[in-house]
Chains A and B, each alone.
Chain A
Protein backbone atom coordinates (compact mmCIF):
# COMPACT_ATOMS: atom_id res chain seq x y z
CA UNK A 1 0.00 0.00 0.00
CA UNK A 2 1.51 3.29 -1.12
CA UNK A 3 0.54 6.87 -0.26
CA UNK A 4 -0.16 8.62 -3.55
CA UNK A 5 -0.56 12.36 -4.00
CA UNK A 6 -3.12 13.33 -6.62
CA UNK A 7 -3.58 16.53 -8.54
CA UNK A 8 -6.26 18.02 -8.52
CA UNK A 9 -6.09 17.08 -4.84
CA UNK A 10 -9.84 16.64 -4.38
CA UNK A 11 -10.55 14.47 -7.44
CA UNK A 12 -13.20 11.79 -7.03
CA UNK A 13 -12.09 9.66 -9.99
CA UNK A 14 -8.39 9.60 -9.13
CA UNK A 15 -8.96 8.92 -5.43
CA UNK A 16 -11.52 6.20 -6.12
CA UNK A 17 -9.41 4.37 -8.72
CA UNK A 18 -6.45 4.29 -6.33
CA UNK A 19 -8.56 3.09 -3.40
CA UNK A 20 -9.84 0.23 -5.56
CA UNK A 21 -6.23 -0.91 -5.93
CA UNK A 22 -5.67 -0.70 -2.17
CA UNK A 23 -3.52 2.43 -2.16
CA UNK A 24 -4.04 5.51 0.01
CA UNK A 25 -4.80 8.67 -1.98
CA UNK A 26 -3.64 11.83 -0.23
CA UNK A 27 -6.68 14.04 -0.66
CA UNK A 28 -7.22 17.61 0.40
CA UNK A 29 -10.43 16.79 2.24
CA UNK A 30 -8.50 14.94 4.96
CA UNK A 31 -6.42 18.05 5.63
CA UNK A 32 -9.52 20.24 5.63
CA UNK A 33 -11.18 17.91 8.13
CA UNK A 34 -8.21 18.24 10.46
CA UNK A 35 -8.54 21.99 10.17
CA UNK A 36 -12.24 22.20 10.88
CA UNK A 37 -11.98 19.86 13.86
CA UNK A 38 -9.65 22.42 15.37
CA UNK A 39 -11.76 24.41 17.89
CA UNK A 40 -9.92 27.63 17.01
CA UNK A 41 -11.35 27.82 13.50
CA UNK A 42 -15.08 28.04 13.16
CA UNK A 43 -15.83 30.01 10.08
CA UNK A 44 -14.61 28.91 6.68
CA UNK A 45 -13.90 30.56 4.23
CA UNK A 46 -12.10 32.66 6.88
CA UNK A 47 -10.35 29.47 7.85
CA UNK A 48 -6.74 30.49 7.77
CA UNK A 49 -5.09 31.62 10.97
CA UNK A 50 -2.14 33.96 11.09
CA UNK A 51 0.09 30.95 11.79
CA UNK A 52 -0.65 29.31 8.43
CA UNK A 53 1.41 31.62 6.21
CA UNK A 54 4.29 31.06 8.64
CA UNK A 55 3.92 27.27 8.31
CA UNK A 56 3.83 27.74 4.54
CA UNK A 57 7.33 29.26 4.67
CA UNK A 58 8.65 25.71 4.59
CA UNK A 59 7.44 25.42 0.99
CA UNK A 60 7.58 28.96 -0.40
CA UNK A 61 9.85 31.95 0.15
CA UNK A 62 8.79 35.02 2.13
CA UNK A 63 8.37 37.08 -1.08
CA UNK A 64 5.63 34.71 -2.23
CA UNK A 65 2.11 36.06 -1.57
CA UNK A 66 0.68 35.04 1.80
CA UNK A 67 -2.26 33.36 0.04
CA UNK A 68 0.08 30.90 -1.63
CA UNK A 69 1.89 30.25 1.64
CA UNK A 70 -1.41 29.77 3.47
CA UNK A 71 -2.58 27.25 0.88
CA UNK A 72 0.79 25.49 0.98
CA UNK A 73 0.40 25.02 4.75
CA UNK A 74 -2.54 22.73 3.90
CA UNK A 75 -1.23 21.05 0.72
CA UNK A 76 2.44 20.91 1.82
CA UNK A 77 2.05 18.09 4.40
CA UNK A 78 0.39 15.98 1.67
CA UNK A 79 3.37 16.54 -0.63
CA UNK A 80 5.75 15.62 2.23
CA UNK A 81 3.90 12.37 2.81
CA UNK A 82 3.67 11.36 -0.87
CA UNK A 83 5.46 8.22 -2.03
CA UNK A 84 4.12 8.54 -5.59
CA UNK A 85 2.02 11.05 -7.50
CA UNK A 86 -0.54 11.30 -10.28
CA UNK A 87 -0.85 14.69 -11.97
CA UNK A 88 -3.70 15.49 -14.34
CA UNK A 89 -3.06 18.35 -16.70
CA UNK A 90 -5.51 20.40 -18.76
CA UNK A 91 -8.50 19.85 -16.50
CA UNK A 92 -11.45 22.17 -17.17
CA UNK A 93 -11.97 25.31 -15.14
CA UNK A 94 -13.75 24.33 -11.96
CA UNK A 95 -12.06 20.93 -11.72
CA UNK A 96 -9.95 21.18 -8.64
CA UNK A 97 -10.46 23.53 -5.75
CA UNK A 98 -7.11 25.09 -4.98
CA UNK A 99 -8.25 28.31 -6.61
CA UNK A 100 -4.77 29.70 -7.16
CA UNK A 101 -2.68 28.90 -10.22
CA UNK A 102 0.62 29.81 -8.51
CA UNK A 103 -0.11 27.28 -5.74
CA UNK A 104 -0.93 24.66 -8.40
CA UNK A 105 2.36 25.34 -10.18
CA UNK A 106 4.37 25.22 -6.96
CA UNK A 107 2.71 21.98 -5.78
CA UNK A 108 3.29 20.27 -9.14
CA UNK A 109 6.88 21.53 -9.21
CA UNK A 110 7.52 20.12 -5.69
CA UNK A 111 5.97 16.75 -6.60
CA UNK A 112 8.02 16.48 -9.82
CA UNK A 113 11.23 17.31 -7.99
CA UNK A 114 10.68 14.98 -5.08
CA UNK A 115 12.21 12.00 -6.88
CA UNK A 116 9.12 9.81 -6.51
CA UNK A 117 7.36 7.91 -9.33
CA UNK A 118 5.07 10.40 -11.08
CA UNK A 119 2.37 9.66 -13.65
CA UNK A 120 1.35 12.64 -15.78
CA UNK A 121 -1.92 12.51 -17.68
CA UNK A 122 -4.10 14.76 -19.78
CA UNK A 123 -7.70 15.31 -18.75
CA UNK A 124 -9.87 13.11 -20.99
CA UNK A 125 -12.58 14.60 -23.15
CA UNK A 126 -14.05 11.50 -24.80
CA UNK A 127 -14.56 7.79 -24.22
CA UNK A 128 -11.30 6.56 -25.78
CA UNK A 129 -9.20 9.04 -23.84
CA UNK A 130 -10.95 8.00 -20.61
CA UNK A 131 -10.11 4.35 -21.36
CA UNK A 132 -6.46 5.34 -21.81
CA UNK A 133 -6.49 7.31 -18.55
CA UNK A 134 -8.06 4.48 -16.54
CA UNK A 135 -5.65 1.92 -18.06
CA UNK A 136 -2.62 4.10 -17.29
CA UNK A 137 -3.71 4.69 -13.68
CA UNK A 138 -4.35 0.97 -13.14
CA UNK A 139 -0.96 0.04 -14.63
CA UNK A 140 0.77 2.66 -12.48
CA UNK A 141 -1.01 1.45 -9.33
CA UNK A 142 -0.08 -2.17 -10.11
CA UNK A 143 3.57 -1.28 -10.74
CA UNK A 144 3.73 0.47 -7.35
CA UNK A 145 2.26 -2.59 -5.68
CA UNK A 146 4.96 -4.80 -7.24
CA UNK A 147 7.74 -2.44 -6.16
CA UNK A 148 6.44 -2.11 -2.59
CA UNK A 149 6.09 -5.92 -2.43
CA UNK A 150 9.77 -6.41 -3.35
CA UNK A 151 11.04 -4.17 -0.55
Chain B
Protein backbone atom coordinates (compact mmCIF):
# COMPACT_ATOMS: atom_id res chain seq x y z
CA UNK B 1 0.00 0.00 0.00
CA UNK B 2 2.80 2.36 0.84
CA UNK B 3 4.07 2.29 -2.73
CA UNK B 4 0.75 3.77 -3.81
CA UNK B 5 1.22 6.91 -1.77
CA UNK B 6 3.15 9.98 -2.69
CA UNK B 7 3.33 11.89 0.54
CA UNK B 8 4.39 15.28 -0.76
CA UNK B 9 3.57 15.75 -4.41
CA UNK B 10 5.40 18.58 -6.09
CA UNK B 11 2.54 20.71 -7.34
CA UNK B 12 2.66 23.86 -9.43
CA UNK B 13 0.58 27.00 -8.96
CA UNK B 14 -1.98 25.71 -11.47
CA UNK B 15 -2.70 22.71 -9.25
CA UNK B 16 -3.77 24.97 -6.39
CA UNK B 17 -5.88 27.37 -8.47
CA UNK B 18 -9.58 26.70 -7.70
CA UNK B 19 -10.61 27.97 -11.15
CA UNK B 20 -8.50 25.39 -12.96
CA UNK B 21 -10.53 22.33 -13.94
CA UNK B 22 -9.73 19.08 -15.72
CA UNK B 23 -12.03 17.27 -18.15
CA UNK B 24 -11.66 13.87 -19.77
CA UNK B 25 -12.70 13.56 -23.41
CA UNK B 26 -13.89 10.08 -24.44
CA UNK B 27 -14.24 8.93 -28.01
CA UNK B 28 -17.03 6.38 -28.21
CA UNK B 29 -16.90 3.26 -30.40
CA UNK B 30 -17.59 3.94 -34.08
CA UNK B 31 -16.48 7.57 -33.95
CA UNK B 32 -15.51 9.44 -37.11
CA UNK B 33 -12.51 11.11 -35.43
CA UNK B 34 -9.34 9.75 -33.90
CA UNK B 35 -7.62 10.65 -30.65
CA UNK B 36 -4.88 12.42 -32.59
CA UNK B 37 -7.37 14.52 -34.54
CA UNK B 38 -8.97 15.64 -31.29
CA UNK B 39 -5.62 16.62 -29.80
CA UNK B 40 -4.66 18.49 -32.99
CA UNK B 41 -7.95 20.33 -32.91
CA UNK B 42 -7.34 21.35 -29.28
CA UNK B 43 -3.93 22.74 -30.24
CA UNK B 44 -5.45 24.60 -33.19
CA UNK B 45 -7.89 26.38 -30.85
CA UNK B 46 -4.90 28.22 -29.39
CA UNK B 47 -6.32 28.36 -25.89
CA UNK B 48 -4.12 28.24 -22.75
CA UNK B 49 -4.80 24.57 -21.97
CA UNK B 50 -2.76 21.58 -20.86
CA UNK B 51 -3.62 18.79 -23.28
CA UNK B 52 -2.80 15.12 -22.77
CA UNK B 53 -3.31 12.44 -25.38
CA UNK B 54 -4.71 9.23 -23.86
CA UNK B 55 -5.92 5.85 -25.08
CA UNK B 56 -9.58 6.76 -24.67
CA UNK B 57 -9.33 10.28 -26.10
CA UNK B 58 -7.67 13.08 -24.25
CA UNK B 59 -7.56 15.08 -21.08
CA UNK B 60 -7.56 18.85 -20.89
CA UNK B 61 -6.86 21.15 -18.01
CA UNK B 62 -7.08 24.90 -17.70
CA UNK B 63 -9.28 27.79 -16.59
CA UNK B 64 -12.93 26.70 -16.61
CA UNK B 65 -13.91 29.31 -19.21
CA UNK B 66 -11.28 28.05 -21.70
CA UNK B 67 -12.06 24.39 -21.01
CA UNK B 68 -15.80 24.79 -21.66
CA UNK B 69 -15.11 26.78 -24.81
CA UNK B 70 -12.72 24.07 -26.06
CA UNK B 71 -15.26 21.32 -25.33
CA UNK B 72 -17.97 23.20 -27.19
CA UNK B 73 -15.70 23.46 -30.23
CA UNK B 74 -14.49 19.86 -30.07
CA UNK B 75 -18.00 18.43 -29.80
CA UNK B 76 -18.79 19.89 -33.21
CA UNK B 77 -16.40 17.35 -34.79
CA UNK B 78 -18.63 14.40 -33.90
CA UNK B 79 -21.40 15.39 -31.46
CA UNK B 80 -22.79 11.90 -30.91
CA UNK B 81 -19.54 10.09 -30.24
CA UNK B 82 -17.60 12.56 -28.10
CA UNK B 83 -18.35 12.36 -24.39
CA UNK B 84 -16.82 14.37 -21.58
CA UNK B 85 -16.53 13.97 -17.88
CA UNK B 86 -15.05 15.94 -14.98
CA UNK B 87 -11.85 14.79 -13.34
CA UNK B 88 -10.82 15.76 -9.84
CA UNK B 89 -7.07 15.46 -10.34
CA UNK B 90 -4.92 17.29 -12.87
CA UNK B 91 -3.22 15.30 -15.67
CA UNK B 92 -0.07 13.63 -14.40
CA UNK B 93 -0.83 14.37 -10.75
CA UNK B 94 1.52 11.95 -8.92
CA UNK B 95 -1.26 10.94 -6.53
CA UNK B 96 -3.31 9.46 -9.37
CA UNK B 97 -0.98 9.05 -12.34
CA UNK B 98 -0.56 5.40 -13.35
CA UNK B 99 3.13 6.01 -14.01
CA UNK B 100 3.79 6.33 -10.27
CA UNK B 101 1.58 3.51 -9.10
CA UNK B 102 0.94 -0.20 -9.43
CA UNK B 103 -2.14 -1.42 -11.27
CA UNK B 104 -4.88 0.59 -12.88
CA UNK B 105 -5.72 4.14 -11.91
CA UNK B 106 -8.75 4.71 -9.70
CA UNK B 107 -11.72 5.33 -11.93
CA UNK B 108 -10.46 3.04 -14.67
CA UNK B 109 -12.96 0.31 -13.82
CA UNK B 110 -15.82 2.80 -14.05
CA UNK B 111 -14.61 3.84 -17.52
CA UNK B 112 -14.28 0.22 -18.56
CA UNK B 113 -17.85 -0.61 -17.53
CA UNK B 114 -19.36 2.50 -19.10
CA UNK B 115 -17.43 2.02 -22.35
CA UNK B 116 -19.31 -1.26 -22.93
CA UNK B 117 -22.62 0.55 -23.43
CA UNK B 118 -21.16 3.79 -24.80
CA UNK B 119 -21.60 2.57 -28.39
CA UNK B 120 -25.31 1.94 -27.79
CA UNK B 121 -25.68 5.41 -26.23
CA UNK B 122 -24.08 6.96 -29.34
CA UNK B 123 -26.49 5.04 -31.58
CA UNK B 124 -29.45 6.15 -29.46
CA UNK B 125 -28.32 9.77 -29.79
CA UNK B 126 -27.68 9.43 -33.53
CA UNK B 127 -30.97 7.74 -34.46
CA UNK B 128 -33.48 8.63 -31.74
CA UNK B 129 -36.49 6.30 -31.82
CA UNK B 130 -39.04 4.92 -29.43
CA UNK B 131 -38.25 1.41 -28.27
CA UNK B 132 -40.34 -0.84 -26.08
CA UNK B 133 -38.64 -3.51 -24.06
CA UNK B 134 -40.65 -6.64 -23.40
CA UNK B 135 -40.56 -7.77 -19.79
CA UNK B 136 -39.07 -11.20 -19.37
CA UNK B 137 -41.68 -13.63 -18.03
CA UNK B 138 -41.33 -17.25 -16.97
CA UNK B 139 -42.66 -19.76 -19.52
CA UNK B 140 -46.07 -21.34 -18.73
CA UNK B 141 -46.10 -24.94 -17.50
CA UNK B 142 -48.41 -26.17 -20.33
CA UNK B 143 -46.18 -24.63 -22.96
CA UNK B 144 -43.12 -26.13 -21.34
CA UNK B 145 -44.80 -29.58 -21.33
CA UNK B 146 -45.63 -29.24 -25.03
CA UNK B 147 -42.02 -28.36 -25.91
CA UNK B 148 -40.72 -31.17 -23.73
CA UNK B 149 -43.03 -33.77 -25.30
CA UNK B 150 -42.15 -32.57 -28.76
CA UNK B 151 -38.44 -32.96 -27.99
CA UNK B 152 -39.00 -36.44 -26.56
CA UNK B 153 -41.01 -37.50 -29.64
CA UNK B 154 -38.31 -36.24 -31.96
CA UNK B 155 -35.73 -38.18 -29.99
CA UNK B 156 -37.55 -41.45 -30.50
> Which residues in window 114-143 of B have CB below 8 A to A?
114, 117-118, 120-121, 123-125, 128-133
Interface size class of B (residues with CB under 8 A): 35 or more
Q: Which residues of A contact B131 (CB under 8 A)?
A: 128, 131-132, 135
Interface size class of A (residues with CB under 8 A): 35 or more
Say whether A46 contacts B5, CB under 8 Å.
yes
Q: Which residues of B contact A15 (CB under 8 A)?
A: 85-86
Interface of chain B, main secondary structure: mixed
> Which residues in window 37-61 of A have CB below 8 A to B?
37, 39, 42-46
Among A30, A36, A46, max chain B CB count under 10 A is at: A36
Can you offer 11 A-B residue contacts whose CB atoms are under 8 A? A10-B107, A16-B83, A17-B121, A42-B8, A43-B7, A95-B109, A95-B110, A97-B110, A130-B121, A130-B123, A131-B120
Q: Which residues of A are interface residues toward B (Cβ below 8 A)?
A: 8, 10-13, 15-17, 19, 27-37, 39, 42-46, 91-92, 94-97, 124, 126-135, 138
